[in-house]
Amino acid sequence: MTEDGIRCDGRRLDELRNISIKVGVLKNADGSAYIEFGKNKILAGVFGPRDVHPKHMANPDSGILRCRYHMSPFSVTERKNPAPSRREIEISKVIKEALQPAVILKDYPRTVIDVFIEVLQADGGSRCAALDAAAVALADAGIPMRDLVSACAAGKVADRIVLDVNNEEDQEGQADMPVALMPNLGKVTLLQLDGMLKPEEFKTCMQTALVGCKRVYEIQRKALMEKYFQNGEQ
């Protein structure tokens, strides 16, 4: 990073990478979205509400939400074994728990809503990008939701708080903090931290991430509006 705060990929401290979202890209899935978040390329597909297999997982009082975050073998520099790693299983769980507060499951007892995420190319912050795509795919499937979920990371690189940590910064940096937010309701549904922050840095870092989430939200919004209302928002 340079003295005046220009980062290794040319961004300013508070600048997001380029983000684009396409809604309804898959024909078989009930809802889908494709996101390019910097060099991340991620597909999300939603099926359901549908019959639960195995049956014993079904809840007679409410629907259940399942989530699978998976990386393609060619998504990272070294070819990845396609079997799910412990990292992918943990990320699947935190993504599910970040989406769950938004999704109304009570209306669909004994059913499951499956969210499948495929990381085609990974580049730092893939869990946030995956969450952004998954939330849009859920809305595309017509699943009732209290809010969208928007996610973005912030971190500490070369002693400075930066928004949206990329792969190189994640490797060299001092801290990485992914955050997910329900933007209209103001609720944080995912928060993780890898690294070391002073209490005041923690505060700035979180606020920086939340600002990022709100900017991501505008992009999610635009993508859905373009899909469903051709003129976009008036």
User: Least Å distance between CB 92 and other proteins?
Assistant: 10
78 CB-near residues (< 8 Å, 6+ apart): none
Tell me whether residue 104 or residue 196 sits nearer to other proteins (CB atom).
104
User: Least Å distance between CB 199 and other proteins?
Assistant: 31
Binding positions for other proteins, rule: CB under 8 A:
26-32, 39, 41, 43-45, 47-51, 53, 60-61, 68, 70, 72-79, 82-83, 102, 104, 108-111, 114, 116-118, 120-123, 139-148, 182-185, 221, 224-225, 228-229, 233-234
Per DSSP, 55 falls in state G
What is the enclosing helix (H) or strand (E) of 48? Answer: strand 40-51
Going 2 to 39 to 79 to 128, the CA torsion angle's sign is: positive
- Give backbone dihedrals phi and psi of 131, rounded to 5 degrees, phi first: -60, -45
User: Least Å distance between CB 81 and other proteins?
Assistant: 11
Structure token pair of residue 84? 């799910």
Tell me whether residue 49 or residue 212 sits nearer to other proteins (CB atom).
49
User: Least Å distance between CB 26 and other proteins?
Assistant: 5
State the number of CA atoms in the 13 A half-sphere of 3 facing the CB.
0
DSSP 165-186: --HHHHHHSSEEEEEEEETTTT
Tell me whether residue 111 or residue 204 sits nearer to other proteins (CB atom).
111
Tell me whether residue 165 or residue 205 sits nearer to other proteins (CB atom).
165
User: Least Å distance between CB 218 and other proteins?
Assistant: 11
Tell me whether residue 45 or residue 178 sits nearer to other proteins (CB atom).
45
